[in-house]
Amino acid sequence: MKTKHLIDLESLSVSELMEVIELANRIKDDPKAYSEVCKGKILATLFYEPSTRTQMSFKTAMLRLGGSIIGFDNPQNSSVSKGESLKDTITVVGGYADIIAIRHYKEGAAKAASLYSAAPVINAGDGGHLHPTQTLTDIVTLYNEKGTLDNMCIGLCGDLKNGRTVHSLIKTMSHFKGNSFVLISTPELGVPQYIKDIMNASGCRYTEVSSLNEAMPMLDVLYMTRIQRERFKSYEDYERQKGVFVLDREKLRLAKRDMKILHPLPRVDEIAEEVDYDDRAKYFIQTVYGMYARMALIMKMLENADRKPMPRQSDTHQAKCNNPNCISCSEEYLPRLFKPLGGDMLLCKYCDGRNLI
C-alpha cells in the first residue's frame, strides 16, 4: 500500500482495495495464521466522538493480530479537556503508537492529524464528512454477500447529507464498473454537491427519489442510514426529518429476492426489528466483516510505514474555509490548504467544502 495515512479511500487504487478485501477474507478463513503478525505493535484509538462498532472493531482487530492498544474514548478524560490542541495530542501519541485511528466531530480532523503524526493515521470518521473504514467494511460485506462490486443498483436511504458513511461509499463504488445509485431522502437531506460532482465525473448514473417503495424493485443493495441527530442545528429540525423512511416487512415484499440490506449501525427506527429475521438483512454480519476489514487494513498500513512526520506545509492560503464544521476553522494554527477548482472556486483540502474566493 503506497499511502502512509488513510484519510479517504480515494488514496487507494481499485487493485489496492481488492488486495485489502482479499486479505480480509484470508484472515476470516484462517484467523489463527494471523494471530501474531502485529506482536509488539501498538494501535492508539483516539475517539473524540461516541462509537461502539468502529472503536471496538479496531481494538479487537489489533488484539486478534497479537498487537496492543492504547487510547481514549472520552476526550474529557484526556488533556483535550485542558485545552490541548489536536496537533499537540497527535504529535505526542504519534511518538507512542505505531498506528493511530482517530474519530472526531470536526470535518477534516483526520487530515489535520496526519500533518503532525509520525505514525500512520486512519480516519475513523470526521464529522459529517467521510468514514473510509466503514466503506471498507461495506465493500468486504458486498463482495462476500453479492460476489461482485460491479454492475449493481445501489439504493442509499436516510440522511444522505450528514451521513459520512454514505459519502465514502458512493465515492468508492463509483470507481467500480457499471454501478448506479438511487438516492432516497427528503429534499433537505440529499447528498452534498461535491458527491454529485464525483458521480457525474465518473459517469455513474444516479436518480434522486423521495419514496422507498418507488425505489425498492430496482435495487440490488439497500443501504439504510440513521438520521444524524447530532449534526442538526436544533431538535425541532431533527424531529421534522425522523421517521420519514422506515424499512419494514411490507416494503420488503417489493424488493428483489437477492437484494442485500446493509446499515452501518446504530439503527434508531429506520429498520423495523422484524426485518432482522429476513435473510436479506446483512447489517449484523456486516459488523463482523468490519473487524476482518480493519485487521487487513492495519496489516497493510504497518507493512511499510515509516516514522517520518510530514514536512511542514508551506502552501498556506490567504482564504479561510467557510464551512463552520471544518477543523481548519477551529484549530487556527493549521495551514489553509485549498485546491483550485477553476474560476473563483477553491476546494478545502480538509473538508472538501467549496469556497468562493
> Which residues of the chain form contacts with ligand NCD (CB under 6 A)?
53-54, 125, 131, 134, 164-165, 226, 228, 264-266
Cell reading at 228? 444524524
CB of residue 273 to ligand NCD, shortest distance in Å: 18
Tell me how crowded residue 2 is: count the other CB atoms within 10 A of its CB: 8
Q: Give the residue among 215, 280, 210, 270 at the shortest CA–CA distance from 246.
A: 270
Q: Give the residue among 102, 128, 138 at the shortest CA–CA distance from 17.
A: 138
> Is-cis flag, bond preceding 266, omega within 30?
yes
* C-alpha angle 217-223-226 in degrees, rounded to nearest 5: 125
CB of residue 133 to ligand NCD, shortest distance in Å: 8
Q: Which amino acid, one-letter code, is at 233?
A: K
Cell reading at 111? 487530515
Q: List the end-to-end C-alpha distance of the chain, in Å, as a whole number.
A: 36
- Nearer of residues 285 and 357 to ligand NCD, judged by Cβ: 285
CB of residue 321 to ligand NCD, shortest distance in Å: 22
- Nearer of residues 296 and 337 to ligand NCD, judged by Cβ: 296
CB of residue 288 to ligand NCD, shortest distance in Å: 13
Calculate the CA dihedral of residues 233, 132, 295, 28 and round it to 10 degrees: 100
Tell me how crowded residue 167 is: count the other CB atoms within 10 A of its CB: 26
- Nearer of residues 50 and 340 to ligand NCD, judged by Cβ: 50
CB of residue 260 to ligand NCD, shortest distance in Å: 17
* Alpha-carbon span 351 to 357, nearest angstrom: 16
CB of residue 171 to ligand NCD, shortest distance in Å: 15
The arrangement of strands across the sheet holding 180-184 comes to: 206-209, 180-184, 153-157, 221-224, 260-262
CB of residue 276 to ligand NCD, shortest distance in Å: 17
CB of residue 311 to ligand NCD, shortest distance in Å: 32
- Nearer of residues 94 and 158 to ligand NCD, judged by Cβ: 158
- Nearer of residues 94 and 125 to ligand NCD, judged by Cβ: 125
Contact, 270 vs 224, CB < 8 A? yes
- Nearer of residues 116 and 283 to ligand NCD, judged by Cβ: 283
- Nearer of residues 168 and 355 to ligand NCD, judged by Cβ: 168
Contact, 275 vs 281, CB < 8 A? yes
* Alpha-carbon span 206 to 180, nearest angstrom: 6
- Nearer of residues 115 and 297 to ligand NCD, judged by Cβ: 297
CB of residue 226 to ligand NCD, shortest distance in Å: 4
DSSP 264-325: -S--SSSB-GGGGGSTTB-HHHHHHHHHHHHHHHHHHHHHT---PPPPPP----S-----TT
- Nearer of residues 133 and 180 to ligand NCD, judged by Cβ: 133
